[in-house]
Amino acid sequence: MDGAGVDQLSDGELLMLGKEDLIRRLRRLESRNIDLMLEHGNMVMDVNRSLQVHLHEIRSLKEVNQKLQDDNRELRELCCFLDDDRQKGKRVSREWQRFGLYTASVLCKDVGLYLQKMGELEASQGVLWTENMELKEIVLMLDEERNGACSRSSIDSQSSLSNRNSSVPVRDCVFIITLNSSCNDLLLICRKTID
């Protein structure tokens, strides 16, 4: 009988066995027990070794997890910063857009005023050009009259002298008025009829 059969024997059957048989069975059971203990020790050592490996892996995973959490926190802060920057950019773009619209409206009004003033200046320039042409014609006419008046005044003065000498009543009196001008000396002749 082997060691497995000893466990199934009753107390009476064990009492019927001899001492030598019992000792053999006892030694066999002890060696089996030692083998089982050694196997159990080896299994415990394997379990401990596996636990150490798993603990090392857990520590490594914890470190990786902590690093990932730090990276996640940094990325979250970066996302918040970028979102704030985006919001600021949108606000600045809206402000620039409002400023551009306001500037465009002001420029349109200013351009309208400038065009109106330009039209007024063009109209006044046309009036001045017309007045200048008229003044030019007047100056030319006065120049012609001055040249003609100088020749008539000499004739009229000679005739007045002859009239005084002939004791004929004076009917016409010639008044010669000289006007000093920056351009020319204009000689105006006024003829006054005496009744």
DSSP labels, 135-194:
HHHHHHHHHHHHHHHHHHHHHHHHHHHHHHHTTPPP-EEEEEEEE--SS--EEEEEEEE-
**What is the distance between the terminal CA atoms of the chain, rounded to a whole angstrom?**
191
Residue 16 has pLDDT above 90, yes or no: no
Higher pLDDT pick, 137 / 23:
137
Average pLDDT of every residue of the chain: 78
Structure confidence at residue 9 as a pLDDT band (50, 70, 90): low
47/59 Cα distance (integer angstroms): 18
pTM recorded for the entire structure: 0.39
What's the pLDDT score for residue 27?
A: 86
**What single DSSP character describes residue 17?**
S
**In the chain, what are the domain boundaries?**
12-98
What's the pLDDT score for residue 133?
A: 92
Average pLDDT over residues 166-176: 41
Average pLDDT over residues 37-46: 93
Residue 74 has pLDDT above 50, yes or no: yes
What's the pLDDT score for residue 41?
A: 92
What's the pLDDT score for residue 72?
A: 95
